[in-house]
Amino acid sequence: MSEIARRSEFPDTRGWIRALPTLTASAPPFAPAATPQETFLRWLTEAAEAGVAEPHAATLSTVDPSGTPDARMLLIKDVTDDGWWFSGDDRSPKGRQLDATPAAALTVYWRELGRQVRVRGPVLAGPAEVCARDFRERSVFARAVASTGHQSEVLTDSAEYDDLVRERLTALEHDPDLVSPHWTAWCVAAEAVEFWQADPGRRHLRYRYRRAGDRWVTEELHP
């Protein structure tokens, strides 16, 4: 493994960043399946078995009403024939952005394997029973926090917030089946999914699935 360059050894940030090692990983042979979901689940399994931490973590990219991009890390909750699922509060910034512009991109990166997946497409809110199931599968503390309804707002009083969480915990202890009406499971109904695999010689593999009606068209892309 290459020795990590020390920041203090360089006169500027650019020089230090340029000296950081890249493309140090090795990946298993690539064998694409008939659908991007199958290929993704195969890669996810290989990442988990390789010991990648939180292999189901992804960057969700959206745009706000002015067209300014926004992004955040979250966890993929499921992968089905419909697409890639994630969840959150519909009052949050991502919820409001998806309501205004129901389209998004998911990016998954497994550094240890030198692999990346990009998923793009329209976003659909799941049915009530799917949203409720996702909410109930969270820990009781996570449900309490999600029920406060002030995600990303300015926190002016920490004690007031803690009291609100305790209040929600008490309510959930009395009724474990409580579900926040704002909790939403969203699905990225992919129109394009690209699989990228690094090559030390820069002959990176790029393999794209593109939806064409009810089938997938596959194509290899220039590195």
Which segments are annotated as binding site for FMN?
Answer: 72-77, 94, 116, 151-152, 196, 206
**Dist CA 96 CA 74 (whole Å):** 16
Write the single-letter amino acid at 20: L
Binding-site residues, in ranges, read 72-77, 94, 116, 151-152, 196, 206
- With 0-12 / 13-18 / 19 or more C-beta atoms within 10 angstroms meaning exposed / middle / buried, residue 74 is middle
Neighbours of 46 (CB within 10 A): 16
- CA separation, residue 215 to residues 18, 34, 119, 207 (Å): 42, 10, 16, 16
83, 188 in Cβ contact below 8 A?
yes
